[in-house]
Amino acid sequence: MTSAPVAITGMGCICAAGINLNDTMAALFSGCRAPAPPVSFTCSHLINYPVFEVQGFTPPPDLLRTCSLGLHAAREALADAGLDREFLDSIRVGVSVGTTVGSAMSNETFCRELRFGQQPDMTMLERIQRSNPAAVIAREFGFNGPCQTIVNACSSGTDAVGLAASWIRSGICDVALAGGADELGRITYIGFIALQITDDSPCKPFDLNRKGLNLGEAGAMMVLESEQVRAMRNKRARSFLLGYGSACDAYHLTAPKPDGAGLKSAIAEALACSNTDPGAVAFVNAHGTGTPDNDRVETQVLAELLPGVPFLSTKGYTGHTLGAAGAIEAVFTAACLERGEIPASIGFSTADPALRGNPLTRNTTFSGTIALSESLAFGGNNSVVILGKGGVT
Amino acid sequence: MQIAVQGIGVVGCFGAGVAKMRQALLTGAVSPAAFDLPGCGTPLAISAFRADTSSLADFVPLKALRRIDNFSRLGLLGAYLALQDAGVPAAEKQERLGVVIASGYGATGSTFAFLDSFINDGDICASPTYFANSVHNSAAAYISIMLGATGPSSTVSQFHHSVPSALQTACLWLAEGRVDRVLFGAIEELSELIGYAWHRQRGRADIPEMTPLLTGAESAIPGEGAAFLLLTRREESQGGYCLLDRVITGRHLKPGFLPSPLDLLVLGADGRIEKGGDYAKLAKKATVACFTSLYGSMPGSPAFDIAIAALMLKEGKTFDSPGSAVCDFPATVATGGESLKGCCVSCLSLSDDDGFGLINLSKG
Amino acid sequence: MNTKEKLKKILIEDLNLEELTPEDIDDNAPLFGEGLGLDSLDAVELVVIIQKHFGIEIKNMEEGREAFRSVEALAAYVDQRLATT
């Protein structure tokens, strides 16, 4: 079934590389990155694993930091789209947000006190109960449309964008804010180290010496808009969401399927529903976490389905921002299409002969109008969005 | 597009399977039991409706479950029961089957176990298995793995809004033709963490039964379980229970917004005092039913209501609302065993931030 | 109880191999794939298990790979590490 393009009229993001989209894109093209040991928490591991923390962002304490990252990006995206409160009140607006931390009833201090019989009060958990990311955004802006917090681990952000496009197409809402948000914290940090997929040096996606990922944190949002609303306000689209596909490996809880079957299905679905010829894809924003398994499966699938198409990982600039990753990378993909240029895939220097392809090593201009962003997640989820260059129609 | 409910898989305090649920609906006899919270440092117990997953052994060898935690076991059992109820062999490869899971709290037992692992033995001893199980989509992953379901998979988590929101996604996938069938399910686990939170926030251990249709009185008793539905497009349905006409979600539902015609309104009222008044207001003049006393208060409860509504539509008659002998709602409570006058049933659930979910079902 | 017996007991308990008894586990059977049927997630769990029960840190999987061949190999590794610390 072919699906109609959905206009993206506003974007916003916050991550270690920058507190808004312009700053972040500038950092990506300057080739700068600054992973460092965590500042906001400490652990007793002998090694300090570098992370990508957002510096100088001190949100109010009443909500989870995750929500504040999401709200920050949402404000930028709405302003970018030129949508004011009064107009938004007159239409039906939906919110879909991907997250991992933003929905978990998980608080270490609370757990510690409980275990030691100190009868913790509910303040810590009540803060979580107030902090469901999609609900917080809908409440903050007074939206009354559909509202969904998606928790598909590392593909959540991609899925949130894909879902919002479905809402617009089916008329469930007129405008949707879609994206992802996740904060960095001790619990996730310890968890990923326990899984032994964390690099103790700055991550090196697709490199021979890659040892794993570095964690990051981010918020990223897109404004998706129906053609009726867009025509009403004569608004140019920054990009178009052309297609979305997702499929489950049904293979293992933490390991990707070696043949990449789920990722292949997801790419095939996204290409088919957007009627995109694989030859028209200008570049791929790969998941590219820098873990040995992920990068192997991904390059193999790309070599098979999109041979010769340039690809990159932006996780070398932002770290792996988990539930926000798919969203922020969709934003980057749209911004690169707009600019006609892709940044170098930072962290890569030595080709791995076992991989069927290498990422871009320098900032590269291109002339195409279509690009693909993909996410592979824990639980075997694979999700893909295809974006098109913006314009009036 | 109309969606058909082909199969139901339920696990709750009443037992596992539609037959057990039906039996409980007819007898109205489900009693909460004491739930001890030994991990809270001091002796503590609350009253709760707990669910048992031991019948999962009917579907899978125990060996295959060794890593699977209680949360995912609840989900797996619900999933297998729904497939069995729809007559779909579990061994069949499910390439066009989507999995959509709703859970308000997620796998809090494993989340707690993961925290314990490094609180007790130091950061370096954090258990990767508990960490993996604590991730919200672990149940969806296990279900997909065990069933070989290679279609799309998604998990939604936003407390009491999770079910209507996730169900909307399931319906969209079918309408768009992304999948031919969706296994939709809500899962809630009563871990010690949730038990303790309940104790602190609600603090009543002495409630003998829930009286959800009485405003101004706290009578909620926490529950756990899973409620799954196997959904297909109407044109591909065979037999089955009923049609799912529409899922409406949003904020600030006004009384006039209830669908028409409406023959029965199933209320998600669950004895939580802060919501009782809102349900009463919206139910004004309608013929209502409420079944939360059979399975308890939990974010995923609307999925149980849909399952019961589907069963009523299939049988063409209503069930008594347990715990409704005391009722001050300005509505008519349907009497059990009467034939459903029309064929339109709606399930209403209210969530935080004035959110609502309205799920319209019909006989078709 | 010698290291092998202790290891078997720990494996059964910590990896939830409930259907097995220590006697069922062959000293030389592979822990992964065929044999006990453990997988990549068990491998990283095993690193934590060895740390927790014996205080031995296995720094990376390269080091673990040889030790994780069988109960026999793991017991020899544990004994050797305990003797040298």
* Digit-coded pLDDT (tens) for A309-350: 999 999 999 999 999 999 999 999 999 999 999 999 999 999
Q: Chain C: residue nearest B130 by CA?
A: C45
Average pLDDT over residues A115-120: 90
Domain regions of chain C by residue span: 3-83
Domain regions of chain A by residue span: 6-391
Q: Looking at the partner chain, which of B115, B126, B145 has a beta carbon nearest the beta carbon of A250?
A: B145
CB atoms within 10 A of CB B20: 17
* DSSP 8-state symbol, B159: G
> Are the C-beta atoms of A284 and A310 separated by less than 8 Å?
yes
Instruction: Among A46, A196, A293, pick the best mutation site for testing chain C contact (most C Cβ within 10 A).
Output: A196
Q: Looking at the partner chain, which of B168, B176, B352 has a beta carbon nearest the beta carbon of A146?
A: B168
Alpha helix stretches (DSSP H) within chain B? 18-27, 70-85, 108-121, 128-134, 138-147, 162-175, 192-201, 273-282, 301-315
**Shortest Cα distance, chain C CAs vs residue A292, angstroms:** 13
Could you tell me the two tokens for A271?
A: 């290409």
- What is the average pLDDT score of chain B? 94
- Please classify residue B260 by burial: count the beta carbons closer than 10 Å to its beta carbon, then call 0-12 exposed, 13-18 middle and 19+ buried: exposed
Give the containing element (helix H, strand E) for A373.
strand A370-376
Contact C41/A255, CB-based, under 8 Å? yes
According to the model, what pLDDT value does residue C54 have?
A: 96
CA B82, distance to chain mean position in Å, is 13
Percent of chain A past pLDDT 90, that is, above it, reads: 96
d(Cα A202, Cα C53) in Å, to the nearest integer? Answer: 32
Contact B62/C19, CB-based, under 8 Å? yes
According to the model, what pLDDT value does residue B252 have?
A: 87
According to the model, what pLDDT value does residue B41 have?
A: 74
Q: Looking at the partner chain, which of B112, B155, B352 has a beta carbon nearest the beta carbon of A111?
A: B112
**Shortest Cα distance, chain A CAs vs residue B28, angstroms:** 33
CB atoms within 10 A of CB A320: 31
Q: What pLDDT band is residue A393 in, cutting at 50, 70 and 90? A: low
**Which chains have 3+ CB pairs within 8 A of C?**
A, B
Average pLDDT over residues A259-276: 98
Average pLDDT over residues A141-166: 97
From chain A, pick out residues whose CB is under 8 angstroms from the CB of C48.
194
The length of chain C in residues reads 85
Half-sphere exposure of A214 (CA within 13 A, CB side): 30
Could you tell me the two tokens for A313?
A: 């990982």
Highest CATH level, class, for A6-391:
alpha beta
Domains and CATH numbers, chain B: 3-362 (3.40.47.10)
Q: Looking at the partner chain, which of A145, A148, A248 has a beta carbon nearest the beta carbon of B153?
A: A248
Return the minimum-mean-pLDDT range out of B187-191, B263-267, B350-354: B350-354
Q: Could you tell me if A76 lies within 8 Å of chain B, comparing CB atoms?
A: no
Q: Could you tell me if A209 lies within 8 Å of chain C, comparing CB atoms?
A: no
Instruction: Among A88, A124, A148, A193, pick the best mutation site for testing chain B contact (most B Cβ within 10 A).
Output: A148
- Over residues A348-373, the pLDDT tens digits come to 999 999 999 999 999 999 999 999 99
Please say if the pLDDT value at position B205 is more than 70: no
Query: Tell me, what amino acid is at A103?
Result: S
Contact A121/B99, CB-based, under 8 Å? no
Please say if the pLDDT value at position A145 is more than 70: yes
**Which chains have 3+ CB pairs within 8 A of A?**
B, C
According to the model, what pLDDT value does residue A11 have?
A: 98
From chain B, pick out residues whose CB is under 8 angstroms from the CB of A106.
111, 115, 134
According to the model, what pLDDT value does residue B257 have?
A: 82
Q: Looking at the partner chain, which of C39, C47, C60 has a beta carbon nearest the beta carbon of A252?
A: C39
Q: Which residues of B touch C (CB under 8 A)?
A: 62-63, 66-67, 117, 121, 124-129, 132
- Over residues B104-118, the pLDDT tens digits come to 999 999 999 999 999
- Over residues C33-82, the pLDDT tens digits come to 888 889 999 999 999 999 999 999 998 777 888 899 999 999 999 999 99
Please say if the pLDDT value at position B35 is more than 70: yes
CATH number of C3-83: 1.10.1200.10
**Shortest Cα distance, chain A CAs vs residue C74, angstroms:** 20
**A156 or B342: which carries more pLDDT confidence?**
A156
According to the model, what pLDDT value does residue B255 have?
A: 77
From chain B, pick out residues whose CB is under 8 angstroms from the CB of A249.
144, 150
Q: Could you tell me if C43 lies within 8 Å of chain B, comparing CB atoms?
A: no
Average pLDDT over residues A173-190: 98
Q: Chain B: residue nearest C43 by CA?
A: B128
Please say if the pLDDT value at position B204 is more than 80: no
Q: Looking at the partner chain, which of B62, B63, B125 has a beta carbon nearest the beta carbon of C51?
A: B125
According to the model, what pLDDT value does residue A343 have?
A: 98
**Shortest Cα distance, chain A CAs vs residue B10, angstroms:** 23
Average pLDDT over residues A166-178: 97
Q: Looking at the partner chain, which of B66, B128, B132 has a beta carbon nearest the beta carbon of C48?
A: B128
Instruction: Among B63, B73, B117, B119, pick the best mutation site for testing chain C contact (most C Cβ within 10 A).
Output: B63
Contact A114/B155, CB-based, under 8 Å? no
Q: Looking at the partner chain, which of B135, B148, B172 has a beta carbon nearest the beta carbon of A250?
A: B148
Cross-strand pairs, A372:
A284, A386
> Are the C-beta atoms of A147 and B165 separated by less than 8 Å?
yes
Average pLDDT over residues B179-183: 97
Q: Chain C: residue nearest B64 by CA?
A: C17
According to the model, what pLDDT value does residue A202 have?
A: 98
d(Cα B72, Cα B11) in Å, to the nearest integer? Answer: 12
According to the model, what pLDDT value does residue C1 have?
A: 81
| Number of cross-chain residue pairs from B and C with Cβ atoms under 8 Å apart | 28
- Please classify residue A61 by burial: count the beta carbons closer than 10 Å to its beta carbon, then call 0-12 exposed, 13-18 middle and 19+ buried: exposed
